[in-house]
Amino acid sequence: MKDIVQIDVEAILKAKAGSKAKYVPRFLVSYLKKIIHQDEVNSFLRENGSKKGLDFIRAFMQFFNNSFEIRGIENLPDEGRYTFVSNHPLGAQDGLGLGLILGERYGGKIKFLVNDLLMNFPQLSSLFIPVNKTGGQSRSLPQQVAAAFASDNHIVMFPAGICSRKQKGVIRDLEWKKTFIVKSVQSERDIVPIHFEGQNSDFFYRLANLNKMLGIKFNIAMLYLSDEMFKNRDKKFTVTIGKPIPWQTFDASRRPSEWAQYVQDIVYSLK
């Protein structure tokens, strides 16, 4: 039990703010504990924190009572190595759901490039490459990504990098980054498009848009991803798998960024 990480908001504040932490109002500390569901998450971790990889994901899905309707499963290839790309509507259930679906299909031979909430689960370190764009980890990221694409593992990515946003009434990913195109061509991996149907609360989208409008560099909406995770409890999600796109498709007729947009459009056409 002593090796199982527990979330402690007060300890995090002390680590980040040092002696200034004592000036943080108690009501704010209590609010932070509430929105991240500290007690509930810690209870789950005490029960399941020793589990790893797919076993941990199964426990997560059982705890949150989430299930999936999978369409187009016949499009999942049996042989070779592939890059699976998906929209990113949620922040937890979408990543873990795809991890479970593809991990079980391919015997755990998958590697996720993720950030957001999923970076905080060390139980998933065997499956995930945490894409933290700041700090020391960022210096080794290119080598980690290159090694993942050079391996025999399937690669799973959310090319937007962050959760979908709501703009003009439409929930959709922001611009997809071109990395998955460039690396898939280099490693000769066909790309499998996946659409994950789901959404966060209107509050989350309003907060994310306000964050952007005010030009705040810190992604405040990330603080609420745990709360969104609990709001998506007891839901069934539809996952639609498209036909693999040959890597040779992505030739010099378009820039990699344009091919990334092309694949994003295909993903949303699966809806």
Supply the DSSP string of 85-116, one letter for each residue: EE--SSSSHHHHHHHHHHHHHTTT-EEEEE-G
Q: Where are the alpha helices (DSSP H) in 116-157?
A: 137-150
Q: Is 84 inside any structural domain?
A: yes
Same domain assignment for residues 233 and 108:
yes
Number of Cβ atoms within 10 Å of the Cβ of 86 = 26
Residues 45 and 75 in one domain: no
Residue 112: pLDDT above 70? yes
* 9 & 143 share domain: no
- Residue 33 included in any domain: yes
Average pLDDT over residues 243-251: 98
Predicted pLDDT at 139: 62
* Residue 37: inside a domain: yes
Question: Same domain for 167 and 220?
Answer: yes
Total domains in the fold of the chain: 2
Confidence band of 150 (pLDDT split at 50, 70, 90): very high
Is 198 or 118 the better-scoring residue by pLDDT?
198
pTM summary value:
0.90
State the residue range of the domain holding 112. Answer: 65-269
Cα–Cα distance between 240 and 161 in angstroms, integer?
20
At residue 134 the predicted structure's pLDDT band, cuts being 50, 70 and 90, is: very low
CA distance 73 to 71: 6
Residue 206 scores a pLDDT above 60: yes
18, 10 in Cβ contact below 8 A? no
What radius of gyration do the chain's Cα atoms show? 19
Specify if 55 maps to a domain: no
Does residue 187 share a domain with residue 130?
yes
HSE-up of 258 (CA within 13 Å, CB side)? 7
* Average pLDDT rounded to a whole number, residues 233-241: 98
Q: Are residues 145 and 265 in the same domain?
A: yes
**H or E element in which residue 190 lies:** strand 190-196
